[in-house]
């Protein structure tokens, strides 16, 4: 890792220019203060908006840009190695503003630059960033762009996680630039081996962003499986100089491989639902099932999403409030619905004061999913000893189903 101006280097090379291969530079920006992504996903340590500069003998390309508000930082970082006005190409792997938000700024600075993106990306570049067709070059799977001694190759990877997404590959340096794919919201390391628990963060990112598109992820992994890769340089988080470290778990996650594990997500008002949840948690644990348990009143959605990536079962617990599920229980159910985790089985536990409704609403919400509801128990008021016994029996049935399933 080499910095161009040591005075600008942060401790680990983030937010400054770093040469990651000969004439290939990381020019990403760091947003340590951001606390939410998509107004939903918690970012405890912020995130990075990675961008890369590839300088051939004749042409220079910028791969992805940055989030709105960081345009000047990106410009200043690039200026340490070249004049941004001299850019020949801006590659848009993905149109979402955290990577493409500075495209208008860069295209204004570099008056002769061409935006390179997929056909759908070109339409989005017009809609979002007002880049006209005569400044855009559309590329398809396998197209290349010669920079002189270095040639970028484009790999369409749609729905990861927008319809226009593509990867860019640089064969001369064996680097893949996959934008969001393989990303993580990590700001405390530049290379993968500098972050001990990186794969935990990457799993959370996969759960939040890519889990609903597992079949498209499988197709993309198939497309890149024969590429020679010395580095994978995503647009959030550290660069992998040990690509296998992320390729192996991505293969498992994309294939929907689950463990003998249940994620329990619940909310309780007067501890009745909580007692029910704890009863099934004890049974599952004593039957050898790994469990993770989240009270929605305090849980991070990111943690829940991470555990849904490899859980074979989900337990949803929510009391009835005003004829339906408690709003936080419904939020958990909706999260399961939209993230489409690979879980095969679910159990619903609920208590009510004077009229039920939560179980029906949760069942209806999960209806279109492929998750089999193994059982649902609702009790009036606090669970009796008999109720607890019934929940334990249901727990044993669930544990058996989890173990039988491969």
Note the residues at the interface with ligand FEO (CB under 6 A). Answer: 94, 96, 98-99, 161, 180, 235-236
CB of 65 to ligand FEO, least distance (A): 12
Toward ligand FEO, which CB reaches closer, 180 or 310?
Answer: 180
Toward ligand FEO, which CB reaches closer, 235 or 378?
Answer: 235
CB of 235 to ligand FEO, least distance (A): 6
Toward ligand FEO, which CB reaches closer, 29 or 351?
Answer: 29
Toward ligand FEO, which CB reaches closer, 179 or 262?
Answer: 179
Toward ligand FEO, which CB reaches closer, 38 or 134?
Answer: 38
Toward ligand FEO, which CB reaches closer, 185 or 326?
Answer: 185
CB of 253 to ligand FEO, least distance (A): 17
CB of 144 to ligand FEO, least distance (A): 25
CB of 360 to ligand FEO, least distance (A): 35
CB of 209 to ligand FEO, least distance (A): 7
Query: Residue 36 to residues 85, 142, 143, 181, 360: CA-CA distances in angstroms?
Result: 33, 36, 36, 19, 32
The three-state (H, E, C) secondary structure of the chain, written as one string: CEECCHHHCCCCCCCCCEEEECCEEECCEEECCCCEECCCEECCCCEEECCEEEECCCCEEEECCCCCCCHHHHHHHHHCCCCHHHCCEEECCCCCHHHHCCHHHHHHHCCCCEEEECHHHHHHHHHHHCCCHHHEEECCCCCEEECCCCEEEEEECCCCCCCCCEEEEECCCCEEECCCCCCCCCCCCCEHHHCCCHHHHHHHHHHHHHHHHHHHHHHHHHHHCCCCCCEECCCCCCEECCCHHHHHHHHHHHCCCCEEEEEEEECCCCCHHHHHHHHHHHHHHHCCCEEEEEECCCCCHHHHHHHHCCEEEEEEECCEECCEECHHHHHHHHHHHHHCCCCCEEEEEEEECCCCCHHHHHHHHHCCCCCEEEEEEEEECCCCHHHHHHHHHHHHHHHHHHHHCC
Toward ligand FEO, which CB reaches closer, 31 or 310?
Answer: 31
CB of 114 to ligand FEO, least distance (A): 22
C-beta of residue 110 within 8 angstroms of C-beta of residue 102: no
Toward ligand FEO, which CB reaches closer, 157 or 265?
Answer: 157
Pairing of strands 47-49, 29-31: antiparallel
CB of 98 to ligand FEO, least distance (A): 4
Q: How many CB atoms lie within 10 A of CB 400?
A: 13
Closest CB to ligand FEO belongs to which residue?
A: 96
CB of 178 to ligand FEO, least distance (A): 11
Toward ligand FEO, which CB reaches closer, 161 or 312?
Answer: 161
């Amino acid at each position: 890792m080499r910095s161009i101006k040591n005075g600008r280097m942060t401790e680990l090379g983030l937010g400054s220019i770093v040469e990651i291969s000969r004439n290939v530079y990381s020019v990403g920006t760091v947003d340590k203060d951001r606390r939410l992504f998509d107004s939903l996903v918690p970012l405890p340590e912020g995130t990075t908006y990675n961008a890369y500069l590839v300088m051939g003998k004749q042409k220079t390309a910028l791969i992805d840009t940055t989030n709105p508000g960081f345009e000047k930082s990106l410009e200043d970082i690039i200026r340490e190695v070249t004049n941004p006005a001299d850019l020949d190409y801006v590659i848009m792997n993905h149109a979402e503003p955290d990577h493409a938000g500075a495209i208008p700024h860069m295209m204004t600075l570099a008056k002769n630059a061409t935006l390179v993106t997929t056909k759908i990306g070109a339409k989005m570049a017009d809609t979002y960033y007002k880049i006209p067709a005569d400044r855009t070059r559309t590329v398809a799977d396998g197209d290349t762009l010669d920079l002189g001694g270095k040639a970028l190759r484009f790999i369409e990877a749609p729905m990861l996680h927008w319809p226009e997404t593509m990867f860019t590959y640089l064969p001369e340096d064996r680097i893949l630039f996959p934008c969001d794919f393989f990303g993580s919201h990590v700001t405390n390391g530049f290379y993968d081996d500098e972050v001990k628990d990186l794969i935990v963060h990457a799993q959370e990112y996969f759960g939040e962003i890519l889990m609903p598109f597992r079949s498209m992820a499988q197709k993309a992994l198939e497309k890149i499986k024969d590429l020679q890769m010395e580095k994978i340089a995503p647009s959030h988080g550290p660069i992998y100089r040990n690509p296998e470290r992320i390729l192996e778990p991505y293969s498992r996650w994309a294939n929907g491989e689950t463990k003998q594990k249940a994620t329990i997500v619940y909310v309780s008002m007067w501890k009745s639902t909580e007692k029910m949840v704890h009863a099934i948690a004890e049974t599952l644990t004593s039957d050898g099932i790994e469990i993770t348990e989240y009270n929605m009143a305090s849980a991070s959605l990111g943690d829940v999403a991470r555990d849904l990536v490899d859980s074979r079962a989900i337990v949803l617990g929510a009391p009835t409030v005003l004829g339906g599920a408690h709003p936080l229980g419904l939020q958990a159910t909706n999260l399961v619905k939209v993230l489409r985790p690979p879980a095969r089985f679910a159990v619903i536990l609920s208590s009510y004061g004077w009229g039920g409704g939560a179980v029906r609403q949760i069942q209806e919400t999960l209806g279109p999913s492929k998750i089999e509801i193994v059982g649902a128990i609702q009790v009036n008021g606090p669970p009796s000893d008999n109720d607890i016994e019934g929940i334990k029996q249901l727990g044993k049935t669930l544990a058996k189903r989890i173990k039988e399933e491969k």
